[in-house]
Amino acid sequence: MSVRKLKPITPGQRFKVVNGFDAITTASPEKSLLAPLKKSGGRNSQGKMTMRYKGGGHKRRYRIIDFKRDKQDVLAEVMSIEYDPNRTAFIALVAYTDGEKRYIIAPNGLQVGQKIQAGAGAAPEIGNALPLSDIPLGTIISCIELRPGQGAVLARSAGTFAQLMARDGKYATIKLPSGETRMILVKCLATVGAVSNSDHQLIVSGKAGRSRWLGRRPRTRPVAMNPVDHPMGGGEGRASGGHPRSRKGIPAKGYRTRSRTKDSNRYIVERRKK
CATH number at residue 138: 2.40.50.140
Residue 263 included in any domain = no
Residue 220 included in any domain = no
Residue 232 included in any domain = no
**Rg, C-alpha atoms of the chain:** 22
If one counts the domains in the chain, the total is 1
Is residue 223 helix, strand or coil? helix
What mean pLDDT is predicted for residues 118-136?
95
pLDDT at 1 over 70: no
Domain carrying residue 125: 3-41+54-201
pTM (2 decimals)?
A: 0.92
C-alpha–C-alpha distance, residues 188 and 145, integer Å: 5
Q: Angle at Cα 176 formed by Cα 175 and Cα 181, nearest 5°?
A: 45
Q: What is the pLDDT of residues 66-110, one digit of tens each?
A: 999 999 999 999 999 999 999 999 999 999 999 999 999 999 999
The pLDDT value given to residue 241: 79
Residue 237 included in any domain = no
Give φ, ψ of 264 to 5 degrees.
-80, 0
H or E element at residue 190: strand 189-192
CA distances from residue 244 to 7, 156, 216, 233 in whole angstroms, order as listed: 39, 30, 23, 11
pLDDT at 274 over 80: no
Burial class (CB in 10 A: 0-12, 13-18, 19+), 46: exposed
Give φ, ψ of 268 to 5 degrees.
-90, 115
Residue 224 included in any domain = no
Residue 187 included in any domain = yes
Residues whose CB is less than 8 angstroms from the CB of residue 138 and which lie 6 or more positions away in sequence, other chains included = 163, 164, 165
Residue 179 included in any domain = yes
